[in-house]
């Protein structure tokens, strides 16, 4: 693990806290409230492949499936053709591809992918449960998945998904309760959860 990667991880929490107040938008008065934003962090890589399986079957870690819908705040309208760009750490807390030299190879995009929503706004992806990692001596980031959602007629949203019951949720200042979901056992092993996303108009 390179020193640059460690520095980025530590610097992220400080910069994110400073920017968080400006990122949070008021909830919509419509029936669907806007999904709260959350900082992107320093580990995003553009150009992730279009795929719904982020980790190979033999990749180490507890299997995880996340599904949901992308909706417009005005009337909870399903948004077809939205792009859901997701990325997360390995079970050991490592982000692949950060120390790679362009052009990136497929293996550099492990645990990363983009999914286009269907006609009903639905999306789903299969991966592993992300690991936790330490930011400082006293702060450990809980398990989380990063999201970047775009749609031609709506505002881009960058946020993070967290998991109910993580012991570090309460000590991480970036965690917001609307972004926490419960997980349930999945038939065949592993866990699954549902995360619906609501975008505001452009």
Catalytic residues, which ones?
Answer: 95, 133, 141, 144, 146
180 membership: H or E segment, kind and range: strand 180-181
Is cis: bond before 103, omega within 30 of 0?
yes
DSSP three-state, residue 1:
coil
140 membership: H or E segment, kind and range: strand 140-141
DSSP three-state, residue 21:
helix
SS3 per residue for 88-110 = CCCCCCCCCCCCCCCCCCHHHHC
């Amino acid at each position: 693990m390179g020193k640059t990667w460690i520095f980025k991880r530590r610097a992220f929490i400080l910069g994110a806290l400073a920017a968080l107040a400006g990122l949070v938008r008021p909830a919509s008065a419509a029936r669907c409230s806007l999904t709260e934003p959350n900082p992107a962090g320093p580990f995003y890589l553009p150009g992730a492949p279009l795929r719904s399986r982020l980790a190979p079957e033999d990749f180490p870690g507890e299997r995880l499936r996340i599904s949901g819908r992308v909706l417009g705040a005005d009337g909870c309208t399903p948004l077809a053709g939205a792009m859901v760009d997701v990325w997360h750490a390995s079970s050991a807390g490592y982000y692949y591809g950060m120390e790679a030299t362009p052009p990136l190879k497929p293996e550099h995009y492990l645990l990363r992918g983009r999914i286009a929503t269907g006609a009903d706004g639905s999306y789903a992806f299969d991966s592993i449960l992300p690991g936790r990692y330490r930011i400082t001596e006293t702060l450990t980031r809980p398990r989380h998945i990063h999201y970047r959602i775009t749609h031609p007629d709506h505002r881009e949203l960058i946020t993070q998904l967290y998991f109910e019951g993580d012991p570090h949720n309460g000590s991480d200042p970036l965690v917001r309760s609307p972004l926490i979901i419960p997980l349930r056992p999945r038939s065949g092993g592993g866990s699954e959860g549902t995360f619906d996303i609501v975008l505001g108009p452009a």
